[in-house]
């Protein structure tokens, strides 16, 4: 399930929903990203997230499909929020279920790495000293590159 929404989400509720009625799932890994009150500048007071409707959902769908092709997964949930958020607010949720823990851990990590470098979201931070658009990070590209060096790492 893939959702782009302004409203907050409840990670626990989403995980319960993903697992409801299933007894074939042996592992579930959940990642929640939160708004920090510091980033490129201290004193971040809010964050505005913009996206490209249509392309966003398609890009997320492609990332999830690729994860499903690499690991044996039994359920994936990706929720990304847009609009204005405050420090401490949840931004992104990735829940991955599998029969065993390793594919669940790896696929969750993979989805976040690809989401950060391929899904059309843009962050604008509002700080005490003004507003600015967040710059891309070299480390995010390095993280995403880890999955390209050995394509067949499903285990």
Partner 1 sequence: MTLTHLNQRGEAHMVDVADKPESRREASASGYIRMKPDTLALLSEGGLPKGDVLATARIAGIQAAKRTHELIPLCHALALSKVAVDFRLDEENSRVEVFASCRLNGRTGVEMEALTAVSVACLTLYDMCKAVDKDMEIGAIHLDTKHGGKSGNYQRQAPTSSTPIVTGEGMAGQVSVGARCDIDSACVRVKFLAELRERLGISELSLPLDSLPSADVGGLKAALVKRDARFARLTEGRVLCAVNQVMALDPTPITHDDEVAFFPPVTGG
The CA-based angle 124-127-132, given to 5 degrees, is 35
Q: Which residues pair with 76 in a beta bridge?
A: 96
DSSP string, 63-95: HHHHHHHHS-EEEEEEEEE-EEE-TT-EEEEEE
* Window 11-30: contact mask with partner 1 (x via CB under 8 A): --------------------
Q: Is 51 in the site for partner 1 (CB under 8 A)?
A: yes
Smallest distance, partner 1 to C-beta of residue 121, A: 3
In whole angstroms, the minimum distance from the beta carbon of 144 to partner 1 comes to: 11
**Contact pattern for partner 1 over residues 81 through 120, marking x by CB under 8 A:** -xxx------xx-------------------x--xxxxxx
| Cβ-based nearer residue to partner 1, 7 or 20 | 7
Residue position matching structure tokens 């044996």: 72
């Amino acid at each position: 399930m893939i959702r782009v929404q302004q409203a907050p989400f409840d990670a626990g509720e989403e995980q319960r929903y993903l697992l409801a009625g299933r007894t074939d799932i042996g592992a579930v890994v959940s990642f929640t990203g939160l708004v920090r009150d510091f980033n490129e500048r201290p004193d971040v007071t809010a964050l505005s997230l913009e996206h490209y409707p249509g392309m966003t959902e398609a890009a997320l769908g492609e990332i999830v499909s690729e994860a499903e092709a690499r690991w044996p997964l039994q359920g994936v949930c990706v929720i990304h929020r847009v609009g204005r958020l405050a420090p401490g607010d949840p931004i992104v949720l990735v829940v991955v279920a599998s029969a065993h823990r390793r594919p669940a851990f790896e696929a969750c990590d993979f989805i976040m790495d690809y989401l950060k470098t391929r899904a059309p979201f843009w962050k604008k931070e509002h700080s005490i000293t003004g507003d600015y658009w967040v710059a891309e990070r070299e480390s995010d590209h390095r993280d995403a590159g880890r999955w390209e060096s050995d394509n067949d790492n499903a285990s």
